[in-house]
């Protein structure tokens, strides 16, 4: 039986495969340690990426909060009254 390629494993993780394909992949994964290990590795890789992504979002968000409060404190820069 043909092994599942990485692209398909990623699609499987994303749920981007048809039901039939999904069934075939999960049957293969049950039989094939190699592919299930690869899937597990991909899943871990994703989790790490996700964690990094979330940390970055938090950092950006923190910076935005600082910038916003800075603007707020300097306040009343342009009220647009002279129009």
Taking the complex as a whole, the smallest distance from the CB of residue 42 to Zn ion amounts, in Å, to: 13
Nearer to Zn ion, 3 or 58 (CB): 3
> Dihedral of CA 17/20/22/28: which sign?
negative
Taking the complex as a whole, the smallest distance from the CB of residue 11 to Zn ion amounts, in Å, to: 15
Among 11, 35, 59, 62, binds Zn ion (CB under 5 A): 35
**Counting Cβ atoms within 10 Å, is residue 21 exposed (0-12), middle (13-18) or buried (19+)?**
middle
CA distances from 5 to 13, 17, 32 (A): 13, 13, 13
Check binding of 32 to Zn ion (CB under 5 A).
Answer: yes
Taking the complex as a whole, the smallest distance from the CB of residue 33 to Zn ion amounts, in Å, to: 8
Residues forming contacts to Zn ion in the complex (CB under 5 A) are 3, 32, 34-35
């Amino acid at each position: 039986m043909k092994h599942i390629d990485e692209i398909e494993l990623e699609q499987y993780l994303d749920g981007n495969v048809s039901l039939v394909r999904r069934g075939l992949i999960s049957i293969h994964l049950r039989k094939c340690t190699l592919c299930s290990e690869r899937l597990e590795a991909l899943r871990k890789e994703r989790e790490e990426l996700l964690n990094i992504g979330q940390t970055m979002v938090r950092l950006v968000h923190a910076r935005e909060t600082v910038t916003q409060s800075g603007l707020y404190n300097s306040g009343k820069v342009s009220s647009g009254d002279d129009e």
